[in-house]
Structure 1
């Protein structure tokens, strides 16, 4: 469906007129009436417009508007015109009730837009989101419960919370970029400081970054969330029961479709929590550090460029602090600023940095090319990284898997020391989010050709385990 098939074509025309500020305030009054009342009487909206927009209505000129002379005469007529104009453009509709009174109804598209406009106008700090904790809490309660419906609902709830978390992180990242652009246009030190500590500090750091580090921490809850989801994904009987519950809840056309949808959501949540720290949190932290560094440099530059008395005094004091023999300069400016020199003893008072002498050219020294111990150690380290690096480990694991999706300790064929070392390194690197495989340790020990390794399952990442 096209956009203007879902909303009236002239819906936004009042917001592009010369009186757009008045219409925006009127829409906010409409949102207040819609939020506080189930049934909105037309005369109640009329009274709210008159009381809250009296000054704006009196100052408006309504040039080019289709307003009647009687409506233009006083504030009451102008308020009636606002109701007629917004109704004709599709922001609300009128209906007559059983008591023969006119009532206002707000369509779905209009209620969503009014909510959005009010949120954009609201300058209060956002508080209280807890997507990661809600995901952990719902999965933990459902896992400890024997109710299959609760487990199914917990998967869908975890999927919604994770999706909302990703959207929040994207919004935070782009919001930091927005403060970068705002800072470019600022040319006053106080404005930069207010933007950094009041706006950025409260609306970004305290509202989003701080909860992500403390209350709603991904590293804190990641392992329990993944543990519950992986346990459910490996239980075919439980998956079938959850699929039946989802089918009864009309979340899919067939049980097979519901089962596939549950598995897809479980794997998606698992993969998101594997990559969310590297792909989102680290990028946001780096962006915050760049913004903070840029704000500090901006303050320093604006302070040094200040040509007022304060700026000149700052330059003067800086020059005096760097010059140990500024007695004559102090005497010259003392009648104006009443400046007196102060000194103190520190651990460096009796120490002076040795100044290096001027280097002179000397005859070149011939260096014989011999293999030193350092070169030999470097070559050994290079050999170690090449034969046992992450790339070599990934190739070895791929050789074990072949075309299969999973393999076990008995399939590895441990015949020499290198294969034994690779099996240990594969276990150590299996938890790396960048690895293309996952290793699950089983109970017991497997022995072959004199080597002992843990019983384990190697599974290609992103592939459902076949039972």
Structure 2
């Protein structure tokens, strides 16, 4: 499996199963915020941020198997945390910085995993409309100019609609989760708490209502589909997009004496068309099921 050729440290995920996992995750979030705020991270600055953020939890740290934790000062425990993050491969010392100060590098795979964990913990509402508007904006600009950036517009539209599909699937699964939780409740008081404290606040008010009103995604559907229909029947444009994508290394070049295969470009166009916007029938149906269960 390629994953463990990239994440080579065999102890990388051990922090998430450790008795100290909650503190480790908070420390990793400090690293993530440092990464977002600073172009280069000094080790001592990271230590200071750990102390400032985790001061009240530092003394809850327990020694790991084979590890000594005999320094009871905040600074000592913060340095111990940094050593644990280094030992498990979440961060690395940057060997390319020639300075009296030590600098921390955050590997790309760590950044990606931390981003996912951070987003889960924040539980921020997803913005569906912005994805569709960006899709429309990219396609309409490319439609107007028909220049050298048509391929970029299609690539962006493909990526944005893929994210939209994932976001709507997440919404559907969350609605399913609340629906099943509601079915498990036997007391009327628990049913009302589940509805008003969780579903109404986290799903209906923050996501469903905006999705049906001011953040309505389908209002861009007609304009996007109009552009895609024109592109799908424009053989010359499809060849132009394909040639641009070949130059970018996204598609294979034509064989010697042959012609460029434009099928992948058409497939991308069909995919964007099908994905914008998808899945609404399932979401409205799940909403109706939930309402019925409350009656």
Would you say the 8 A contact 2:15–2:24 is kept in 1?
yes
TM-aligned CA distance change 1:63 to 1:221, over 3 Å: closer
1:38-437 equivalent positions in 2, closer than 5 A: 38-62=39-63, 64=65, 66-69=67-70, 71=71, 73-96=72-95, 97-127=97-127, 129-145=129-145, 147-184=146-183, 186=185, 192-215=191-214, 217=216, 219-254=218-253, 256-257=259-260, 259-273=262-276, 276=278, 280-294=279-293, 296-297=294-295
Look up the SS of the partner of 1:130 in the other structure. Answer: helix
TM-aligned CA distance change 1:196 to 1:53, over 3 Å: same
TM-aligned CA distance change 1:248 to 1:216, over 3 Å: farther
TM-score, length basis structure 2: 0.86
CA–CA distance in structure 1, aligned partners of residues 44 and 186 of structure 2: 49
Would you say the 8 A contact 2:125–2:207 is kept in 1?
no
TM-score, length basis structure 1: 0.56
Would you say the 8 A contact 2:43–2:104 is kept in 1?
yes
| Alpha-carbon offset, residue 108 of structure 1 | 0.8
| Alpha-carbon offset, residue 83 of structure 1 | 0.9
1:36-57 Cα distance to aligned partner (Å, 9 max, x none): 1111111111111112111211
CA–CA distance in structure 1, aligned partners of residues 190 and 77 of structure 2: 39
| Alpha-carbon offset, residue 63 of structure 1 | 6.1
CA–CA distance in structure 2, aligned partners of residues 63 and 105 of structure 1: 24
TM-aligned CA distance change 1:127 to 1:222, over 3 Å: closer
1:354-388 Cα distance to aligned partner (Å, 9 max, x none): xxxxxxxxxxxxxxxxxxxxxxxxxxxxxxxxxxx
Q: Structure 1 runs of 4+ off > 6 angstroms?
A: none
1:307-357 Cα distance to aligned partner (Å, 9 max, x none): xxxxxxxxxxxxxxxxxxxxxxxxxxxxxxxxxxxxxxxxxxxxxxxxxxx
Larger mean CA deviation between 121-130 and 45-54 belongs to: 121-130
Cross-structure match for 1:390: none
Gaps of 5+ in 2: none
Look up the SS of the partner of 1:55 in the other structure. Answer: coil
Q: Which has the larger radius of gyration?
A: 1
CA–CA distance in structure 1, aligned partners of residues 192 and 180 of structure 2: 15
CA–CA distance in structure 1, aligned partners of residues 69 and 63 of structure 2: 10
TM-aligned CA distance change 1:68 to 1:212, over 3 Å: closer
Would you say the 8 A contact 2:34–2:41 is kept in 1?
yes
Is the helix fraction higher in 1 or 2?
Answer: 2
Larger mean CA deviation between 210-219 and 107-116 belongs to: 210-219
TM-aligned CA distance change 1:114 to 1:18, over 3 Å: same
Is the strand fraction higher in 1 or 2?
Answer: 1
Look up the SS of the partner of 1:268 in the other structure. Answer: helix
TM-aligned CA distance change 1:217 to 1:262, over 3 Å: farther
Would you say the 8 A contact 2:179–2:290 is kept in 1?
yes
TM-aligned CA distance change 1:230 to 1:88, over 3 Å: same
CA–CA distance in structure 1, aligned partners of residues 18 and 274 of structure 2: 48
Would you say the 8 A contact 1:127–1:207 is kept in 2?
no
1:10-58 Cα distance to aligned partner (Å, 9 max, x none): 1111221222111111111111211111111111111111121112112
TM-aligned CA distance change 1:123 to 1:252, over 3 Å: closer
Cross-structure match for 1:26: 27
CA–CA distance in structure 1, aligned partners of residues 111 and 250 of structure 2: 27
CA–CA distance in structure 1, aligned partners of residues 214 and 159 of structure 2: 19
Look up the SS of the partner of 2:103 in the other structure. Answer: strand
Look up the SS of the partner of 1:104 in the other structure. Answer: strand
Q: Number of aligned residue pairs: give it.
A: 289
Cross-structure match for 1:14: 15
CA–CA distance in structure 2, aligned partners of residues 183 and 257 of structure 1: 55
CA–CA distance in structure 2, aligned partners of residues 95 and 228 of structure 1: 48
| Alpha-carbon offset, residue 128 of structure 1 | 6.5
